């Protein structure tokens, strides 16, 4: 029994089947992620290594070249580019498009780990970053307040950031433009030379004194206690009173050779809101999360934060890329709806049949909705590409519908007996749509 014969002899069963497909498609449509562009496999890895106090030449010789020599043997590697700046080395690896980005990332991490001992000891751990278009921030927030910048950063880091990180779909919350507290020790070189000391000796003494040291355990009949010796600095006076031993056995205080100040760490980034200094917050979604729904959830949390701490801070949404995503996808959906209505009106004008127009208005949406089932199974997202594809395929569906309807009218005119008509339809309606589809393709 062919599909056409089954549709004619079992209309109720076929109607229930397509109704189930339509319901399943609508349910899965609500679970599909929404993005501006589809997820792309971009096999490119960036290795960022920070070496404080080093110049570009030293960075190139001591950091970039060992990394380049190690990763040059990676499979499917096409190009290596490096950028050497003051304090930082950036090595960019571009692989062949056939390479799997996740496997490439793992191999790069394993290779860089093996040559970590060849890098300078005071260089930070290399950060390996995979190119991911979905890792771009979907929301940029600006937080302003009458509090000082260090206090504002502390407040946002303790009360706002944790609540944003708990939102479903949020992958990372990045704070930018923060004025962080910093304790600076300005050493007088003349006094240092007078006492026969070096900066390395002073640094070593400060590092050794600013530690919390475990001191063992204390046991009682009912409880066990872990004992720790609290040695970290808590005030500026404690830092100034640090004893520095000299070669002759005597000692001096840090205040005798240096000036200790509580200041703000120098930062090269700046965030302003309406010409007022502010704190920036970037919201990065998870790779498979729905950007539109994640943005809505974040906005609800911001409303709660505003209600609780509105007297202390002012949170403004500086940029929301999901607005453009919504408008673009809504525009494509509107175009699809206009195309369906236009097709129905054209069929009504030329075929003079309201029934045929209703058939098209029902058949084409069901065909489109059923596509969402396959999109969910294939891990596709709702984006400009998929929506434009659905819009373009409407033309093919219209051609097939017209061909089928024309054949039905043709055989209805030729046949006078319903039973003979069904036999003709079973054999005559299968191939015309297929030929039309192949010709259109």
35 assigned to some structural domain? no
Task: Tell me the pLDDT tens digit for each residue of 93-150.
Answer: 998 888 888 888 889 999 999 998 888 888 888 988 887 766 678 888 988 888 877 7
Residue 415: what pLDDT? 53
Residue 417: what pLDDT? 45
- The angle at the Cα of 329, spanning 323 to 332, to the nearest 5 degrees, equals 140
The CATH number of the domain where 152 resides is what? 3.30.70.1320
Task: Tell me the pLDDT tens digit for each residue of 417-435.
Answer: 444 445 455 545 555 555 5
Instruction: Tell me the HSE value of 71 on the side-chain side, using a 13 A CA sphere.
Output: 32
Same domain? 67 vs 120: yes
Q: What range does the domain containing 103 cover?
A: 44-131
Same domain? 90 vs 197: no
The CATH number of the domain where 74 resides is what? 3.30.70.1430
Residue 1 binned pLDDT confidence (cut-offs 50, 70, 90): low
Query: Taking 80 as the threshold, does the pLDDT of residue 199 lie above it?
Result: yes
Confirm if 123 and 63 have CB atoms less than 8 A apart. Answer: yes
Task: Tell me the pLDDT tens digit for each residue of 228-269.
Answer: 877 788 888 888 888 888 888 888 888 888 888 887 776 666
Calculated CA dihedral for residues 245, 248, 252, 256, nearest 10 degrees: -120
Same domain? 218 vs 288: no
Same domain? 372 vs 428: yes
Which 3-state string (H, E, C) describes 138-197? EEEEEEEECCCHHHHHHHHHHHHHHHHHCCCCEEEEEEECCCCEEEEEEECHHHHHHCCC
Q: What is the mean pLDDT of the chain?
A: 81
Number of domains the chain contains: 4
Same domain? 176 vs 289: yes
- Domain boundary (240, 264, 288) is at 264
């Amino acid at each position: 029994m062919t599909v056409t014969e089954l549709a004619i002899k079992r209309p109720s069963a076929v109607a229930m089947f397509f109704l189930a497909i339509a319901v399943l498609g609508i349910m899965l449509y609500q679970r599909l992620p929404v993005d501006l562009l589809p997820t792309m496999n971009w096999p490119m890895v960036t290795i960022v290594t920070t070496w404080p106090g080093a110049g570009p030449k030293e960075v190139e010789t001591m950091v970039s070249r060992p990394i380049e020599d190690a990763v040059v043997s990676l499979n499917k590697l096409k190009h290596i580019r490096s950028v050497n700046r003051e304090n930082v080395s950036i090595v960019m690896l571009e692989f062949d498009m056939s390479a799997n980005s996740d496997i490439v990332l793992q191999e790069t991490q394993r290779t860089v780990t093996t040559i970590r001992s060849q890098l300078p000891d005071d260089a930070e751990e290399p950060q390996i970053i995979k190119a991911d278009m979905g890792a771009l921030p979907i929301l940029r927030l600006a937080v302003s307040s009458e509090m000082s910048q260090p206090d504002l950063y502390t407040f946002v880091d303790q009360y706002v950031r944790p609540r944003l990180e708990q939102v479903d779909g949020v992958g990372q919350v990045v704070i930018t433009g923060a004025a962080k507290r910093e304790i600076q020790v300005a050493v007088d070189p003349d006094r240092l030379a007078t006492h026969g000391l070096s900066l390395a000796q002073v640094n070593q003494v400060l590092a050794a004194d600013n530690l919390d040291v475990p001191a063992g355990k204390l046991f009682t009949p009912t409880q066990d206690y872990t004992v720790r010796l609290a040695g970290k600095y808590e005030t500026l006076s404690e830092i100034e009173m640090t004893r520095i031993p000299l070669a002759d056995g005597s000692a001096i205080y840090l205040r005798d050779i240096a000036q200790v100040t509580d200041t703000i760490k120098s930062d090269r980034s700046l965030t302003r809101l309406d010409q007022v200094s502010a704190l920036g917050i970037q919201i990065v979604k998870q790779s498979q999360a729905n950007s539109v729904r994640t943005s809505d959830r974040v906005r609800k949390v911001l409303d709660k934060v505003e209600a609780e701490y509105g007297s202390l801070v002012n949170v403004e949404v500086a940029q929301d890329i999901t607005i453009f995503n919504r408008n673009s996808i809504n525009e494509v959906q509107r175009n699809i709806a206009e195309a369906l209505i236009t097709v129905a009106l054209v069929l009504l004008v030329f075929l003079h049949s309201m029934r045929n127009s209703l058939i098209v208005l029902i058949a084409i949406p069901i065909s489109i909705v059923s596509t969402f089932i396959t999109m969910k199974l294939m891990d596709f997202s709702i984006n400009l590409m998929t929506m434009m594809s659905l819009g373009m395929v409407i033309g093919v569906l219209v051609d097939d519908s017209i061909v089928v309807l024309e054949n039905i009218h043709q055989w209805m005119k030729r046949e006078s007996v319903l039973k003979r008509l069904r036999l003709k339809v079973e054999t005559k309606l299968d191939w015309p749509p297929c030929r039309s589809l192949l010709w259109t393709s």
